[in-house]
Structure 1
Amino acid sequence: MVAAIELYLDVDATRRIRTLWRALEEEGVPTLASLLNDKHRPHVSLAAARTLPPEEVVAALSDMVVARPLPVRLDFVGQFVGRVLWLGVTPTVELLSHHREVHDRLARAGVETWELYRPGKWVPHCTVSMRVPNPVMAVAVRRCLEMLPVPARVAGASVTDHARGVAEELR
C-alpha cells in the first residue's frame, strides 16, 4: 500500500499523458491507467509513505498553497528498479523549494514519509508504469520519448491512498 501527496497537471498535459498510457496499454504495457480500476491521474508525487493520515497532512499544510500553479516540464524518461517507467520532471529552484517546504511542514507535524521522497533524494517524476514487461521495455521507452517534452503547470493537489479510497484535496 502506498499513500502520496500528489501534484496534478493541467488539462493539456494530463490529456497527453493519458494518450501515452492508452498507446502503451495497446503495446501490452500495464500503466497507471489500468492500475486500481483507473483511479490514478497523471501526477508528480511530492511525498509518499505506507500511510499518510489525511487529517494530519491537511493540518500540517493548512497555511500553504500546495497546489500552486508551478510550471513543470517533463523532459526525459527514466526507470527505477523493478521495471518502473517514468517521465522525468526537470528540477527547478521553484519546484525544489516547494518540495522542501512541504517536507519541512510535514516533519514539524510528525508526519513520516519515505526517505527516497525527502529533499536531497527525491527524483521528481510522473510514473507511467509500475512494471514494464522486459520484452516490451524498448517499445515503451520509445513511445515515451516520442511524446516529450511535455510542458505543464500544477493544477491541483491531494493526499491520496487509492487502495484505501482516500483522496483528500489540498489547496
Structure 2
Amino acid sequence: MYGYALVGYLDNETESCFKKLWEDLSENNITQYGVDTKGRRPHITIADYDNLDSDRFVELISKFYEDKSRVAISLNILGTFINTGTLFLAPTLSTELLYFHNRHHDYFKEFNVNENSFYLPGNWSPHCTIASRLDEDNMIKAFKYCKINLNKINLNKIHGKLNEIALIEVEFNEEGIAIKDTVVFSKELK
C-alpha cells in the first residue's frame, strides 16, 4: 500500500541534529522510529495524498515552487498527539509558515480529496516526528530523554529553515506502518 506526502525538509544543520536525536534514542533502546524506515528524513508534512497522478503533480509543484523562499521556523515545542504514541517537536505557527501552507493548499485544492486529512488548512498541526507508536513506558522514557538532552544537541528552541520541498511516496506494510519513504521529486527553496 502506498501514499504520497508533500514535505518540507529542514536545513542541513537542523536535520543533522535531528538525526543525532534519532540515533541516540535508538542506541538507548527507547525507539527505533528514526532509523527503521528506509529513506526517512526529518520533515514537516505540508499535505498528504492517497492517490495521485505523480507526473502531473510534479510538473505543477516544480512550477509553483520555482520562486518560493525558504521558511524560517523555530522548533520550540516538545509534545505528543493524544492517544497516538507520537512524540514530536513543533514549530511556532508563524504567519510565514501558515502563509506557506495555505498557499500550497489554495493552489493544489483539486488534489485535496481527503476531507479528513490532518494536513488541510484549519486542521494542520505542523510538527517534526521524533517517534511514533510508543507505548506508555517508552513515551515517558522518550519524553524524559528529549527534555534532558535536546539542549545538548542544539535542538532546544532551534531556529532553522524549511530549505526544500519534496514529494515522497510512502510505502506502508499490512499494519499501515510506513516502512519506506522514496523521494519522487524535490526542489530547493530560494
Verify same fold: TM over 0.5.
Answer: yes
Q: What amino acid sits opposite 1:167 in the alignment?
A: V
CA distance in 2, matches of 1:26, 1:141: 15
Q: What's the TM-score once normalised by structure 1's chain length?
A: 0.86
Residue matched to 1:75: 76
Percent identity of equivalent pairs: 24
Q: CA RMSD of the aligned region, Å?
A: 2.2
1:60 paired to 2:60: yes
Max Rg structure: 2
CA distance in 1, matches of 2:117, 2:64: 22
Q: What's the TM-score once normalised by structure 2's chain length?
A: 0.78
Residue matched to 1:126: 128
Q: 1:137 offset after TM fit, Å?
A: 1.4
Q: What amino acid sits opposite 1:151 in the alignment?
A: H
Residue matched to 2:168: 160
Q: What amino acid sits opposite 1:59 in the alignment?
A: E
Residue matched to 1:170: 187
- Taking the TM superposition and a 5 Å limit, the aligned residue runs for 1:14-163 are 14-37=15-38, 39-65=39-65, 68-80=69-81, 81-107=83-109, 109-113=110-114, 114-145=116-147, 146-147=149-150, 148-163=156-171
Q: What amino acid sits opposite 2:29 in the alignment?
A: G
Q: Secondary structure at the match of 1:124?
A: coil
Deviations 1:49-84 (A, max 9, x none): 334442233233343327631111111112123201
CA distance in 1, matches of 2:45, 2:133: 18
Deviations 1:84-125 (A, max 9, x none): 111111110011011001011111x44535531111110010
| Paired residues of 2:43 and 2:128 also in contact (CA < 8 A) | yes
| Paired residues of 2:7 and 2:43 also in contact (CA < 8 A) | yes
CA distance in 1, matches of 2:33, 2:69: 24
Question: What is the number of residues matched between the two proteins?
Answer: 169
| Paired residues of 2:5 and 2:168 also in contact (CA < 8 A) | yes
Q: 1:161 offset after TM fit, Å?
A: 1.2
Q: 1:166 to 1:154 in 2, by over 3 A?
A: closer
| Paired residues of 2:10 and 2:163 also in contact (CA < 8 A) | yes
| Paired residues of 1:57 and 1:111 also in contact (CA < 8 A) | no
Q: What amino acid sits opposite 1:48 in the alignment?
A: D
| Paired residues of 2:49 and 2:111 also in contact (CA < 8 A) | no
